[in-house]
Structure 1
């Protein structure tokens, strides 16, 4: 961005700060452009967006208000329109659509939306709204909800195992304010499989940089993975279980490979072609940047780079989880 005073390009700065929302203060990494000749600060719509997303994310987490992706996902699984969902929940005609677009629900409305994740509760709302629905609509919605109930019962153990993989299921500062997405995780592996040979330790770092760099640009993670600091660098918190699940689902193949000097490494390959349509433009940009950075680097070099991150060095001694909000905006510019 050019300075409106001098016409010169202004550097982007980030520094710890505080913003107020609904009479509460929230810590942020405040983004702004600095006019170095006048020492004045400026922002644009994109920068204002990053600043406010940080605040909104923390507010949603604090009060248990669902995130836009969650709100859309709840509606989509019941195969109803946003307008129809508003009617069923007793909201204003266009309210649900606005919530999906990012408008902040009240605490009460947010919790109402979360409650209908469960088909039983959603059916209660449908039964209370039959005067607003045609007989055909009511029947279709009930059939969809009951199919979901059957699916939940038949896949109970798979769901339980996935919950063991993703100890942070609800969007928060450790998931980058996104629900974990196993299919998307598999597609990240598919992307990097086209770029380089993947060994488990290196792949863990590719995930870390993809997620934290994407958060730096958007205020959200790419995959919803939570990370822990261990001696070999930042890793998905339950990465062993995650790879076992992906292997059991035949989305990846894990092989023991002789890496020389009597040592063996676990090589991971995708069992599916990369599908770019799963990702948005910024996600693809980040994946490409991470791939370029690490394509020619061996595992030891990747580990050494990850050890330079504050998110690792400040948490490794106690093997703590790594907060996206606290550390993503200081993640290495070598990658992001």
Structure 2
């Protein structure tokens, strides 16, 4: 994979030519085999124009570790597993150390440390982490089961933190459950969901990301931008971004469960009257948005979608989507398969 992007230029003591000069920090897509399977990830490296022969590239120790982490996370995403960053977020959400979270789940003390830096978790372990991520009631159950692993004061401290999460849990839980219920038939990785399971955290973050950069973002336009983000992700990386499933509707691609989607707790949606006095849903940025769940390559895709459609009116983006092969070759009401995203028009 020859293509690369220059991130920045810095002066440093170059180990290739043993002089202090300007080198380029670059990034590119690279391929590696993990557990017998090829995955593509974003690799960072330094380039020295003065290198001897064919030796022009090198990495720092921290860069190597970061590249390995990106590769493992690419494998995780491909298989619907939590990334290392998502595991960190679960732990930090409850204010737990790596050892505390491992004990709470009944695992060895070093297990979480390994999952956040080196090892890829098995699916059974991933399921337990997801239970805790989405449901503080489940975290409380884990504490009841494994509370004897903590000193009394520590156990009470952890319980207090979990109870704090329960206070804001009710509405968010119900809205998430409603959307997840509509995706009960799409849990398996397939061409319908772009080989990505429904990721509500990412959906909320992507929508707020769009709203920060697109003025007057209303529901019709947002739905099409979501499809283009997922379709472009699938075309470039072989998998979608959000796990949403889209149907062929008169207004273009529309996600399954779009009514429940607009009621998610971490979205800032306001009902406003149009010039014709018809109610419209206006999407604003959300102060609670967690953009850490969006990777750098996903942000690049979102920026392309924003650049293309930020000035489009609702009718313009609907008409544009109607000309896509993915729309023309599917029947009304049917799921739009992501394999047709390979034919998406160039941005």
TM-score (norm 1): 0.63
Which residue does 1:251 correspond to in 2? 268
Out of 272, 278, 288, the residue aligned to residue 303 of structure 2 is: 288
Distance 1:298 1:130, change over 3 A: closer
Shift in Å at residue 122 of structure 1? 3.6
Which residue does 1:228 correspond to in 2? 247
- SS at 1:320's partner residue? coil
1:307 aligns with 2:307: no
Which residue does 1:205 correspond to in 2? 224
Rounded Cα–Cα distance in structure 1 between residues aligned with 2:281 and 2:136: 40
- Answer yes or no: is the 8 Å Cα contact 1:57–1:177 preserved in 2: no
Shift in Å at residue 292 of structure 1? 2.1
- Answer yes or no: is the 8 Å Cα contact 2:205–2:289 preserved in 1: no
- Answer yes or no: is the 8 Å Cα contact 1:193–1:269 preserved in 2: no
1:123-177 per-residue CA deviation (whole Å, 9 max, x = no partner) reads 454455456433332111122223344544xx2x553233324533869552734
Which residue does 2:48 correspond to in 1? none
Which residue does 2:96 correspond to in 1? 80
Distance 1:106 1:189, change over 3 A: closer
- Answer yes or no: is the 8 Å Cα contact 2:214–2:310 preserved in 1: no
1:168 aligns with 2:183: yes
1:1-336 correspondence to structure 2 within 5 Å: 1-2=1-2, 56-57=76-77, 59-60=79-80, 66=82, 68=84, 71-101=87-117, 103-117=119-133, 118-119=135-136, 121-127=138-144, 129-130=146-147, 132-152=149-169, 155=170, 158-166=172-180, 167-168=182-183, 172=189, 174=193, 176-177=196-197, 179-181=199-201, 183-194=204-215, 197-214=216-233, 216=235, 222-243=241-262, 245=263, 251-258=268-275, 266=280, 268-270=282-284, 281-320=296-335, 322-323=337-338, 326-327=339-340, 330=342, 332=344, 334-335=346-347
Greater displacement, 285-294 / 163-172:
163-172
Higher relative contact order at CA 8 Å, sep ≥6: structure 1 or structure 2? 1
Distance 1:56 1:128, change over 3 A: closer
Pairwise CA RMSD: 4.8
Shift in Å at residue 297 of structure 1? 3.7
- Answer yes or no: is the 8 Å Cα contact 1:178–1:224 preserved in 2: yes
- SS at 1:84's partner residue? helix
- Answer yes or no: is the 8 Å Cα contact 1:190–1:274 preserved in 2: no
Rounded Cα–Cα distance in structure 1 between residues aligned with 2:114 and 2:329: 39
Greater displacement, 295-304 / 65-74:
65-74
- Answer yes or no: is the 8 Å Cα contact 2:204–2:267 preserved in 1: no
Distance 1:132 1:52, change over 3 A: closer
Greater displacement, 312-321 / 215-224:
215-224
- SS at 2:114's partner residue? helix
**Unaligned stretches of 5+ in structure 1?**
4-11, 13-18, 30-44
